[in-house]
Structures are given as structure tokens and as C-alpha cells.
Structure 1
């Protein structure tokens, strides 16, 4: 992906970063017509978005915000109007045909020039009985943490619990990043999530063999002993992001952790990232970890200036290391 004068806005647009928090201040106003055209070419008309579009509602919100930023300009480029009219026309056509908004759209996480992770994700926070069909803030924070602490991955077999759309597992096996990880297995209890992970793995690793890409499987925490453990390498490092927002799942998760740690003779550790939505819920789970004889150590978050992802750093995320 070629660098350009609108690189930050392009990166934010492709991963659906909140429109009201985008780097609009990087625009050198007033923006000449050629620059306006170049901005649309870098975002709405970008080849990735044309082929694998982000949410229609997001594109519409982006163009409207851009028009507001340029409200004092005497003239706006036709490409800006065309981008907005195109999204409104699609919505009108779908409504006329009795179709609702598409259930899925894409996000593109740009890691470096010519390298990105593309994920197909649900347009709804809750879909098919699960919240795992889209990427949450804690997964991005944990991805940043792993990229800044590559030594934690050295020769490790990784198991992710509640992997959702599969961002972390796909990141770990990106050839261009050359992370020192061994086998990566990403799991979820939802059949819909597992199918989505398979699709996203196939999309991001079209030519890789099994060693060069993550594996995925369905793993229900309350049926942990029934999982075919002998078919996969023994895990050294467990990962999980945004899996403890529901205290009704604590018991099943703790039993799953107990089983895996005992299976490994306690020779493994876990990195758990959680968005701090409810302090009491988070504290409750940490207390239960201690009751199950785990040692919990807080980990420092990656700063905004060192982040590899466009993510909302105002959202509090707690990362802890769990050992026994």
C-alpha cells in the first residue's frame, strides 16, 4: 500500500476508526480540489474498500464528517458528493427491495506498507447469539502488547480462547512480521465464530500450508475435557481478549483454565486483556483467579505513540499475566 499525504486518515478509515476521533487535524486546510480528490481516492475509493467494503453506514458517516470539515470551502470535489450519493443510493435500493443492511462487512488493519490484515466481521454487536463476530478493543490492545514484547512468543505454541473473528491468531502468523511463534490454535465456543475464523484465515493465507497459518477449532469451556487435545501441540501461552464481561461464564472459564494448566503441569501462562466496562465484574474475576491459586500480574499497556493499530486509547483496557 503506497504511502500518501493522507496515510493516517486512510489507516483509520479502512479499520472503521470512530469518525469523530479521526485525525482530521492533519488536513492542511483549505484543501484544494486535487487534494480533496486524493483524499477520497485514499479512503472511499481505495482499491481495498472498493473490493472488500467497510460498513456502508460508516462510509456515509465519514463523508458527512468530511463535508462538515470542509464546510467553509467554496467548492467541493464531485468525488465527495459521488461517494455520499453512492452510499445513499445503495441504501435506497436495498430498502426498495425489502433488504436490510448487509449482515457482514470488512475491516482492514494496516500493519505496514503493503501489509494488512483483512477481516470479515458482523455489522451487529450481537449476532447469531454471540458477540464474537467482530473485533473488540481489548484484542487490539493485546495485539499491540504482543508486537512490543515479541520475546513472550519465542518458540511458544499459542492457544487463544474466545478468538472471535480471529485477529490475534492471524496477526501472529503474518509472515512479514516474522514473530518467533510456533503453532497457533484459535478457538471459540460459537460455531458461527469458528466458521468466520476459517473464512478469515483462508482470506489472509491463501497460499500458506498448515504450518504457515493458524489453525482453528470449536472449544466450549464447559466441555473442555472433550476437546481432542492430542490432535494439537500442547499450549505454552494462552491468550484471551474481552472474555470476562459476563460473570455467568466465570465458572466455565475457570474450569477450562484449571483443566489446561493441569494438562500442562502448570508449565504455561496466560495473557488476558479486558476492556474495563464494570470494575466490580473485573475485580470479581481477579478474586476468583486467586481463589483458584493463580498469580495475577498487571502488564503495562502500549502507549498511543507506539501503537501499531488505530485504536481508541481512551477506552481503558487491562492486560494481566496469569501463572500458577
Structure 2
């Protein structure tokens, strides 16, 4: 292998050209920050080879890939990405026609409030989601994928036995990343996505269908934490309950805790809650309310395989819940 096809990361890991191309592809389809892309490897390759071959290969794995044709990232993101490739194109090489053709496609295109993000699984399959470009839209944060959902999905991929052959209920599913990943990779017997915001439920149903998941093994239900009936919970009959990024508002934490208490004292499922700890007071208050309801928790400290690109700078905590009597 040529030296130019190898690169060493800051922690000493050696990456080859195939790894770099996958890094570009994974980051592109999740619309990661452009600064996070492995541009240094590309620049070194251009310096040593004086060829646009690697740029051509990157294009084939991103803008010209069939996944981009079917589920394209936002127009603005593709425009910025292509501009960065052009900026780095070797000055003494012939211009790459397909690069400028791809840019021409998006220069005059109109951007929209929604776009697709695709999260590549270790199997090579992809979870494609229609998400909102704004973090908060239509009065909800549920139209985008948050870090705790990505972390929970990674943990699930490492612990598939927790979900295989079982009925899973997800509370606050949002756009569906964690649940769809579990459905595609962990073989649950039945999976029930849930939320309560009408617009989120609409987006959730669309994404579930988009990824080829259908009844009766998969369902989407409205579950209002303050009004869920015993009949609904018994009908679902969950063996496993999961929730990601649902502990961010102290005003609704109490309703969540009371619902979790009812679920745990009903069919006694395994319950996992994953949270990005943005406000220690809010998160601590949630745990305090768990204690008051007689629910204990165990922090799961297993390392997870890094599958999806996202910021890992913040504190993400996964806990398993138990009724005190069950311990």
C-alpha cells in the first residue's frame, strides 16, 4: 500500500483510504459539521499524487451515491460540502467535471425546512430519517435526532440480546432513530414507537414507513404520559421499555416518573433511560423523583462501539430502573 494511502489519527490509529472514504460518507449522510471531516488526509493525497482521483471517489460515496439520490441531505449542506471539495481541488489538475456538475445541481435549488439524514449501520444498511433543519420547530424538539438517541442505538447494537424476541416500548420516540436501529438490527418480536406531539407522531409514522417497518410487528401509538390508560399499557405488554433524551424539562419529569412507576409495577419490564445531562439540577431532580416513587437506578458504564458521528463532549448517561422492592 502506498504511504499516501495511510493516515494516523491524533490517538495513533492508522487509517487507510477505505476508512477515510467511509468517514466522508458517514459524516456526509448525517450532515456532520464540515470541520469534522478528514480533510487533512485529502490534502496530503492531493499534494503527493497531483490527482483528483480521491475527490472523485469521495463524490461517488457522497453526492453521487444512490442513497443521496433517494434521501438527500439539505441543499445548503450539499452546497457547502461541494464548495469545500472545490476549494481543495489541486490547482495543477484538470477540473473534475462531475464535481462542478454536482454543484450546479444545488446552486439554484431551493432549500426546505426538512431534509434527510441517513445513519449507516455496521451491516452496511442505513437508517434514513426525514428531520427538521431547526433544533426547535413547531413547538417541539422531537423533530431532530439528539445525542442520547444515538448513544442508546449504539448500546443496543452492542447488547442485541436485550431486545431479541421481545416486545419493546419506546417512550418519546421523536423521529425514530433508536427504535428503527433496534428493529433493523436486534430482531425484537414487536416494537411500539410512541410520542404525544401530533407533528412528531406524523413524522415518526413517515420515518417508520420510510424504513420498511410495518404492522403488526411494528406500531406507532400516541402515549400521553399523564393520561396513558392501564388498558393501553397492558395491551402493549412491554418486556423492555426504553427512552432517550426525555429528561430535559423539569415540568414534565414528574409525569414521566409516575408513568415509569406504573409500568414497573405492572408487567415488571426492563427499563432503560438514556440522557444527555445538559442541566445537572434538572437531571438530579429527575433522579430524586425516581427515589420518591420507590424506583432505584443503576448507571450502565459499558463502553459502546462508536457507530455514528456525533459530539461526545457532553455527559451522556444510560440508567436501568428497578422498583425498590425488586432489588
TM range (shorter): 0.7 to 0.9
- Aligned-pair CA distance for 1:188: 0.3
Asked whether the 8 Å contact 2:52–2:89 carries over to 1, the reply is no
Which of the residues 61, 81, 106 maps onto 1:87? 106
- Aligned-pair CA distance for 1:222: 1.3
Which of the residues 219, 235, 239 maps onto 2:238? 235
Taking the TM superposition and a 5 Å limit, the aligned residue runs for 1:191-210 are 191-205=198-212, 210=216
Partner in structure 1 of residue 25 of structure 2 = 10
Confirm or deny that 1:39 pairs with 2:46: no
Distance 2:269 2:199 in 1: 29
Partner in structure 2 of residue 97 of structure 1 = none
Gaps of 5+ in 2: 1-17
- Aligned-pair CA distance for 1:247: 1.0
Distance 1:282 1:113 in 2: 35
Distance 1:293 1:242 in 2: 22
Aligned residues: 301
Which of the residues 192, 207, 213 maps onto 1:185? 192
Task: Identify which of structures 1 and 2 has the higher relative contact order when contacts are C-alpha pairs closer than 8 Å and 6+ apart.
Answer: 1
TM-score of the pair, normalised by structure 2? 0.84
Asked whether the 8 Å contact 2:254–2:286 carries over to 1, the reply is no
Distance 1:249 1:122 in 2: 23
Gaps of 5+ in 1: 92-100
Partner in structure 2 of residue 29 of structure 1 = 45
Partner in structure 2 of residue 217 of structure 1 = 221
Asked whether the 8 Å contact 2:272–2:318 carries over to 1, the reply is yes
Query: RMSD over aligned Cα, in angstroms?
Result: 2.3
TM-score of the pair, normalised by structure 1? 0.85
Distance 1:18 1:315 in 2: 16
Asked whether the 8 Å contact 1:224–1:259 carries over to 2, the reply is no
Partner in structure 2 of residue 95 of structure 1 = none
Confirm or deny that 1:285 pairs with 2:294: no
Distance 1:254 1:229 in 2: 15
Asked whether the 8 Å contact 1:141–1:302 carries over to 2, the reply is no
- Aligned-pair CA distance for 1:21: 1.3
Confirm or deny that 1:307 pairs with 2:323: no
SS at match of 2:130: strand
